[in-house]
Amino acid sequence: MDDLKAKYLAQIADAADEAALEAIRVAAVGKKGEISLKMRELGRMTPEERKVAGPALNALKDEINAALAARKAALADAALEERLRSEWLDVTLPARPRRQGTIHPVSQVTEEVTAIFAEMGFSVAEGPRIETDWYNFDALNIPGHHPARAEMDTFYMYRAPGDDRPPHVLRTHTSPVQIRAMEAQGAPLRVICPGGVYRADYDQTHTPMFHQVEGLALDRDISMANLKWVLEEFVKAFFEVDDVELRFRASHFPFTEPSAEVDIRCSWEGGTLKVGEGDDWLEILGSGMVHPKVIAAGGIDPEVYQGFAFGIGIDRLAMLKYGIPDLRAFFDSDLRWLRHYGFAALDVPTLRGGLSR
C-alpha cells in the first residue's frame, strides 16, 4: 500500500494538466482502478486481515482523491495566473498611429455642423426614423390632399388589411423633429436635428436613404434677420471661408411663411467648386419663418412665440465640401472609398481646433 501511495502521489504531483489528472484518477480510484480492485479483494480476506486492510485502503483512497483535488485547483490557479500575465494591457499607451478605420463623411459633416451650431447655442434633438404621418405631414401643415405628400415619394409602412391605425411612414425629412422638440422642451428653443431620412428616389445625387439637419429657433422676438445671420455664420464656418455671399430666393414650403431657398455664390472653375467667389449660385437649403399652425401643433402659443427653421442636406454638404461626385457611393460600404474619403477617428471637429484640417 505504501508503494501504491508513493506511485500515485508522485504521478499526481507531476500531472501537467486536467486530462493527465483524470487519467490518473481512473487508473487509481476509478471503477476498475488499482485501488478499487484491491478493495474488492477485501471479501476474500480473513476478518483480522480485513480489519487492518479495509481502513487502510479507505484512507489511501481518500488521500488520493484529496491530492487529485488539490492538484486540480493548483493547475487552475496557474492557468489563471498565466492568462492574467499574458493578457496584461497598458491602457495608458497612446493609440497606434496607423489608423484602422475611418469616420464616414456623413458622420464627419454631422459633427462639423453640430460643432458650429453648438457655438451659437443650438443643442441637438433627435426623433424616430419611423414616424407617424401626423408628425411627418399634418403637424407640419401638410394635410392629406396636399401635393407635397405626393412629391416626397414617401415610403409607407405596411399595415395588415383591416388594421385601421393611422399609417406610419419612413420620415421624408427631419422637420417632424421640430414638433417633437417643441413638445418636449417648449419655448424659447434652439435646436438642430440631424438624422437619416427616406424617399423613393435613386440616381447620382439621390439615394433612398439620405441625411438632413433641421434647425429651429423660437423666441419672443425672432425675425428673418436672425435667420440670415445664423445661416451666414454657418456657411462661412462650414466651408472655412472668411466671406460668403448668400442669396435668399422667395420659395414655398407648407411649414414656413414666408419661405426662402438659400443659394451661395460659387464658381465651378476647372470642375472644382469654390465657395464665396465666381458667378454661379448653388442652392444649399430651404428655410423660413415657422408657420403659426406648426408652432401651435408643437403645443406652443404662436401669438407669443415665433421663429425660424431651416433644412439642409448633410450628404449634399459633404459632396460639396469634399468634392465627392456620386452620392450612391456613400452607402456602398466599399472599403477603398471609405479609406479615401474617410476621416481620422481622433480628429474631432471643433471650431477652435479646426473642422476638417
**Which residues, 74 to 133, sit near ligand DAH by CB under 6 A?**
none
The answer to the question of whether 257 is labelled as a binding residue is yes
- How far CA 295 is from CA of 177, 178, 304, in Å, comes to 12, 9, 10
Assess 214 for contact with ligand DAH (CB under 6 A).
yes
Long-range pairs for 163-170 at CB < 8 Å and ≥24 separation? 166/132, 166/133, 166/134, 167/132, 167/133, 168/130, 168/131, 168/132, 168/133, 169/130, 169/131, 169/132, 169/133, 169/136, 170/129, 170/130, 170/131, 170/197, 170/198
Residue 263 or residue 347: which is nearer to ligand DAH going by CB?
Answer: 263
Residue 217 Cβ vs ligand DAH, minimum distance, rounded to whole Å: 11
Does residue 337 sit in helix, strand or coil? Answer: helix
Through-space distance between the first and last CA atoms of the chain, rounded to whole angstroms: 82
**Which residues, 292 to 311, sit near ligand DAH by CB under 6 A?**
309-311
Q: Would you state the cell numbers that stand for residue 156, as one nine-digit string?
A: 409607407
Residue 127 or residue 286: which is nearer to ligand DAH going by CB?
Answer: 286
Residue 261 or residue 280: which is nearer to ligand DAH going by CB?
Answer: 261
Helix (H) / strand (E) containing 235: helix 224-239
Residue 33 or residue 286: which is nearer to ligand DAH going by CB?
Answer: 286
Give the separation between CA 137 and CA 132, rounded to whole angstroms. Answer: 8
- How far CA 116 is from CA of 120, 155, 192, 236, in Å, comes to 7, 32, 11, 10
**How many of the chain's residues bind ligand DAH (CB under 6 A)?**
11
Interface residue with ligand DAH among 234, 287, 294, 295 (CB under 6 A) is: 287
Residue 8 or residue 308: which is nearer to ligand DAH going by CB?
Answer: 308
**Which residues, 221 to 260, sit near ligand DAH by CB under 6 A?**
253, 256
Contact 261, 251 (CB under 8 A): yes
Q: Would you state the cell numbers that stand for residue 233, as one nine-digit string?
A: 455664420
Contact 159, 153 (CB under 8 A): no
Assess 154 for contact with ligand DAH (CB under 6 A).
no
Helix (H) / strand (E) containing 20: helix 18-29
130 bridge partner residues = 170
307 bridge partner residues = 218
Binding string, 175-194, against ligand DAH, x = CB under 6 A?
Answer: x-------------------
Assess 207 for contact with ligand DAH (CB under 6 A).
no
Residue 130 Cβ vs ligand DAH, minimum distance, rounded to whole Å: 17
Residue 64 or residue 177: which is nearer to ligand DAH going by CB?
Answer: 177
Residue 246 Cβ vs ligand DAH, minimum distance, rounded to whole Å: 15
Residue 116 or residue 227: which is nearer to ligand DAH going by CB?
Answer: 227
Assess 136 for contact with ligand DAH (CB under 6 A).
no
Interface residue with ligand DAH among 105, 194, 286, 307 (CB under 6 A) is: 286
Residue 270 Cβ vs ligand DAH, minimum distance, rounded to whole Å: 31
Ranked by CB distance to ligand DAH, the top (closest) residue is: 311
Residue 91 Cβ vs ligand DAH, minimum distance, rounded to whole Å: 44
Residue 331 CB burial class (10 angstroms; 0-12, 13-18, ≥19): middle
Interface residue with ligand DAH among 149, 173, 236, 316 (CB under 6 A) is: 173
What string of H, E and C letters represents the secondary structure of 122-186? CEECCCCCEEEHHHHCHHHCCCCCCHHHHHCCCCECCCCCCCCCCCEEECCCCCHHHHHHHHHHC
Residue 173 Cβ vs ligand DAH, minimum distance, rounded to whole Å: 3
Q: Would you state the cell numbers that stand for residue 103, as one nine-digit string?
A: 469616420
Residue 11 or residue 136: which is nearer to ligand DAH going by CB?
Answer: 136
Residue 341 Cβ vs ligand DAH, minimum distance, rounded to whole Å: 24
Residue 123 Cβ vs ligand DAH, minimum distance, rounded to whole Å: 17
Annotated binding-site members for Mg(2+): 257
Residues that bind ligand DAH (CB under 6 A): 173, 175, 214, 253, 256, 286-288, 309-311
